[in-house]
Each structure stands twice: as C-alpha cells, then as structure tokens.
Amino acid sequence: MPSAIMPGAEPFSAAGGPVGALLVHGFCGSPFSMRRTAERLADRGLTVEAPLLPGHGTAIEDLVPLGWSDWSSAVEEVYLGLRARCSRVAVVGHSMGGTLACWLAERHPCLRGIAVVNPLVQPFDGELRAGARMLLEGGIAIWKGEPPDTADPTASFPTYDGTPLAAFVSLDEGVEEVASGLDRITCPVLCISSRKDHVVPPANGDLLVSSAGGPSERVWIERSYHNAMVDFDHEEVERRIEAFVVSVTSEPGEEET
C-alpha cells in the first residue's frame, strides 16, 4: 500500500464549465508545483484536474517499482475523463509532465493545445544512461542526488531527496518514444524555457518547437532554473499559461479581453 501523501502534494480538482485543463507535474514532484496555475484556470471557470502521478508525493520507495507505462496510462485516464465532460481540453506540463503532455498530443489530435515548461523530450546522453544501468546492476536502487534546481533559495515544495534508478531508466525509454513522434503534434504549443536549467537542457525546447507540426511559441524566462513553477518567475509562467490555455480553448468571440 502506498505511503501517506506528503502535505501539499495532494491532487487538485475543480468542476467548471465545458472547457477542461489537465496539469501534469514532473518526475519526483507533485501537483504542488501546478496548484497556483490550476487555481487560476479554475477561477476562469475551467474544469481542472491536476493528478498525483503513481509513485509520487508519498515516499520514494513507492516510485522504485514504477515506470513510464504507469504514468502515461494514469495521465491518459484522467485526460479521457476530462474529455468525456468537456468539449475542449488543453494540457499543461512541467519537465516529465511536459513529456506526458507531448505524448498525449501525439495520440489525441483533438487536443486544443499544450503548454510545457522546461519539457523533457530528448533522451538523456549515453554516458548518463549507461551509468544508471550500471548502478542498477550493482544493486543500487536509489541515487541520492543534488538539491532541487531552483534559483530562489527560499523555494520549498514536496519532492524526493533521491532518484529511483529503474524509474529513471523507464522515463528515458518513454522520452525516446515521445521524441520519435513530435512531428505528430498538430495543436498549438507554448514552450516556456529557463535560460539556466541544470536538469533538462534548453535544447529540449529547441527540439520540440522545431519538430512539432503545429504552431509553436517559445518564451524564455531569465531568473528561474528548472523548477520554474515554484521559482522567481512563477507569476509570469502562470500568467502566460493562463492566457494560452484560455486562448486555445476559446471559440470565436468567447475569449475575454
């Protein structure tokens, strides 16, 4: 049985009108990072879901046996539930959540748009992948990593203090699948990238906007690192995502000024 949910890591859900938004957090993260954006969209009358992905927001041991198929199937289930209630749906994702947003857009062309923040869409380099597999073969299940990548030293949010290596390897395999299908994304894309990201290189955003088959907008933020949803620029990020989601999900004449 999974451990208790960390304070602040709870999923977010809000019933609204016929427009839906799905917000997806990153690897080892939780809906905490998406909550302010979720609340803004709910205040605009959208039906909003920000799920807690399997193995996340509890104890790191819960994530150890899980992988890409668990997270992608969970996200698709929430998306299909939203789609059953809403005529128009957009997806927002940070980091691995951006990977999952792209995966959904590749599979569901009726998506109205995706807004991704520091998305992971390029497989990790070969040395890193080989190192993770070597550690796994040596019996190391969890790698104790660096502190969360934020420029704001006061930023605090629920996360794990290590990386489950098997889950990491599975994520990389999922990224390979997504990277091979980026040209199938035909909906509008908003890609928000930190100039300095020590986790996911900005080249990932370059690949997404150059490969996606639909219209893409690239926005750079200057003061935040990888965890931009909780860093210095979070208000700008939230504002831009809100404007994008409202725009792509509006019918002619509906969008508020």
- Reported confidence tier of residue 112, pLDDT bands at 50, 70, 90: very high
Catalytic residue among 197, 211, 224, 234: 197
**What mean pLDDT is reported for the chain?**
95
Tell me the mean pLDDT in the region 155-165: 94
Contact 93, 101 (CB under 8 A): yes
Domains of the chain with CATH codes: 12-249 (3.40.50.1820)
Whether 257 has a pLDDT exceeding 50, the answer reads: no
Question: Regarding predicted confidence, which is higher, 249 or 256?
Answer: 249
Per the annotation, the verdict on 43 as an active-site residue is no
Both structure tokens of 75: 């996200």
- Number of residues that make up the chain: 257
Per the annotation, the verdict on 234 as an active-site residue is no
CA within 13 Å, CB half, 62: 21
State the Cα–Cα distance between residues 184 and 164, nearest whole angstrom.
31
CA within 13 Å, CB half, 257: 1
Q: Quote the strand ranges of the chain, DSSP E.
A: 12-14, 19-24, 47-50, 88-94, 113-117, 142-143, 163-164, 189-194, 216-221
Query: What local confidence, expressed as pLDDT, does residue 129 receive?
Result: 85
pTM beyond 0.85: yes
Q: Give the chain's end-to-end CA distance (angstroms, integer).
A: 48
Per the annotation, the verdict on 95 as an active-site residue is yes
- CA 146 remoteness from chain centre: 20
At 166-222, the pLDDT tens digits run 999 999 999 999 999 999 999 999 999 999 999 999 999 999 999 999 999 999 999
At 12-28, the pLDDT tens digits run 999 999 999 999 999 99
**SS3 (DSSP) at 171:** helix
Burial group, residue 221, by CB count within 10 angstroms (0-12, 13-18, 19+): buried
Whether 253 has a pLDDT exceeding 70, the answer reads: no
Question: Regarding predicted confidence, which is higher, 257 or 252?
Answer: 252
Query: What local confidence, expressed as pLDDT, does residue 254 receive?
Result: 57
Whether 96 has a pLDDT exceeding 90, the answer reads: yes
Catalytic residue among 30, 33, 72, 95: 95
Whether 52 has a pLDDT exceeding 80, the answer reads: yes
Catalytic residue among 56, 94, 226, 234: 226
